[in-house]
Structure 1
Amino acid sequence: MNRSYRCGARTRSGEPCQSPPVRGKRRCRMHGGAAGSGAPIGNKNALRHGRYSADAIARRRQMSELIRRARATLAEIEERTE
């Protein structure tokens, strides 16, 4: 048992963990060997939402220009009716 592989993760005291690893893993149950521990597969934080893509920016510019023209047209119509 003394020669068997150990977890080796650093504990709070700074010493390597002496617990045996979980079967099939390199770390013990406390340091990431347990099922479901660790980061999820794939980086979901890096998924892009597309708000700043070239298409989205162009679409927003078109909408802004359309709104600007509509307001100018409404202002022109109001001037004529007064």
Structure 2
Amino acid sequence: MLSSPRCGAKTRRGTQCQAPAVSGKSRCRMHGGAAGSGAPAGNRNALKHGRFTKEAIDKRKWARLLYKQLVEQLKDY
């Protein structure tokens, strides 16, 4: 165990991680050596809520225009 290769990740202290690396990898299980670790493939962050899609922006513009027209009609009433 003591002679096994060590993880190459840098800790918050700035030193090298002292945990043993996962076999066949250069990182320990906590720093990305475990199976399934890491970010998912592709950038899915842009699809989080859809607030800034063209359709959503157009709907908000339409709602503002409708609101302005309503306020103008109420002023005349």
Instruction: Quickly name the TM-score band, shorter chain normalised.
Output: 0.5 to 0.7
> Which residues of 2 match residues 1-82 of structure 1 at below 5 A?
6-10=6-10, 12=13, 14=15, 20-35=20-35, 38-42=37-41, 43-77=43-77
Mapped contact 2:5–2:21 kept (Cα < 8 A):
yes
Alpha-carbon distance between aligned partners in 2 of 1:31 and 1:48, rounded to the nearest angstrom? 26
Q: CA RMSD in A?
A: 3.3
Matched position secondary structure for 2:29: coil
TM-score (norm 2): 0.54
Gaps of 5+ in 2: none
Aligned equivalents of 2:70, 2:14: Cα separation in 1: 68
Q: Deviations over 1:27-78 (max 9, x none)?
A: 2235332456x4331344343532222222221111111111112112212x
The alignment covers a number of residue pairs equal to: 74
Bigger Cα displacement from structure 2, 55-64 vs 24-33: 24-33
Percent identity of equivalent pairs: 47
Q: Distance in 2 between matches of 1:5 and 1:44?
A: 34
